[in-house]
């Protein structure tokens, strides 16, 4: 016991200061993209062709990127000779509506808080049942790490529980395979009302790289209504935490 206490003192404080202070993001992290179509006089055919999941498009409104499909692989930025698209270190990606994930050259819209009634119920204590609906374990890993001493999700009153009967909502990862569709539906139905649903990762939002395959449902919204979309492949733990706190109205003053 003494050795454990001594070792703990040597380790010092390990919990990140976020949201009180900006998070420490590694240099290799790819966050919110910035589009500058004016830098590409001949259109954006090269970056669009480089995208493996058709997340980029060029319509009447100019170049757009669907962050719900985007794998944040960086192939588009590497393929563009004019620098019309680049990925920043901005970790803020969560939105409340699927259409808000389609971003152009203008300002992005971030997730808004739950309404007053829902926030009064879940604002101080939120219990989530996590469902891996055919995921590769990347989003699952970055979700699970929120429970470690580094992020300490419990300090915000947010916890993962083992049973949907004890949960206020679902946190879903994976593209929802045919084998998991019924299980996901039954898990949702087992939640007491009122309930919320959070889709984490490009697979849970749009099917990710598996979109269109006969054995997937192309995301959670095909089975259950979704209240919060957190894009990424996988999203950084801070991105997930940021989305959860915005949903609960903890970050409204920081937008």
Fold for 116-254, please state it.
Answer: Rossmann fold (3.40.50)
pLDDT value of position 60: 67
d(CA 199, CA 94): 10
Three-state secondary structure string covering 88-153: CCCCCCCECCHHHHEECCCCCCCCCCCCHHHHHHHCCCEEEEEEECCCCCHHHHHHHHHHCCCCCH
How far is the first Cα of the chain from the last one, in angstroms, to the nearest whole number? 44
pLDDT value of position 6: 79
Q: Is the dihedral of CA 34, 40, 44, 46 positive or negative?
A: negative
Distances (CA, A) of 221 to 148, 168, 182: 29, 18, 13
pLDDT value of position 253: 44
Q: Is 161 helix (H, G, I), strand (E, B) or coil?
A: coil
pLDDT value of position 63: 85
pLDDT value of position 4: 78
Q: Is the backbone of residue 104 left (phi > 0), alpha (psi -120 to 50) or beta?
A: beta
Per-position pLDDT tens, the chain of length 255: 888 787 777 777 678 889 999 998 999 999 999 998 888 766 668 889 999 999 998 876 678 999 999 999 999 999 988 888 999 999 999 999 999 999 887 788 999 999 999 988 898 899 999 999 999 999 999 999 999 989 999 999 999 999 999 999 999 999 999 999 999 999 999 999 999 999 999 999 999 999 999 999 999 999 999 999 999 999 999 999 999 999 999 885 444
């Amino acid at each position: 016991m003494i050795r454990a206490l001594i070792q703990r003192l040597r380790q010092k404080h390990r919990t990140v200061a976020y949201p009180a202070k900006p998070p420490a993001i590694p240099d290799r992290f790819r966050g919110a993209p910035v589009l500058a179509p004016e830098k590409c006089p001949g259109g954006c055919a090269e970056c669009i062709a480089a995208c493996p999941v058709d997340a980029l498009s060029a319509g009447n409104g100019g170049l757009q990127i669907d962050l719900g499909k985007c794998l944040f692989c960086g192939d588009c930025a590497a393929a563009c000779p004019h620098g019309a698209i680049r990925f920043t270190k901005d970790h803020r990606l969560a939105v409340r509506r699927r259409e808000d994930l389609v971003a152009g050259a203008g300002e992005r819209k971030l997730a808004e808080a739950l309404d007053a009634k829902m926030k009064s119920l879940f604002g101080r204590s939120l219990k989530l049942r996590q469902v891996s609906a055919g995921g590769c374990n990347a989003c699952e890993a970055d979700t699970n790490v929120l429970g470690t001493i580094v992020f300490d999700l419990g300090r915000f009153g947010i916890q993962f529980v083992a049973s949907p009967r004890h949960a206020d909502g679902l946190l879903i990862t994976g593209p929802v395979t045919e084998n998991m569709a019924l299980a996901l539906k039954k898990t949702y139905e087992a939640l007491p009302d009122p309930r919320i649903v959070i889709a984490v990762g490009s697979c849970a939002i749009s099917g990710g790289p598996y979109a269109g395959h006969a054995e997937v449902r192309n995301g959670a919204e095909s089975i259950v209504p979704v209240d919060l979309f957190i894009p990424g492949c996988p999203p950084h733990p801070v991105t997930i935490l940021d989305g959860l706190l915005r949903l609960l109205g903890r970050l409204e003053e920081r937008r």
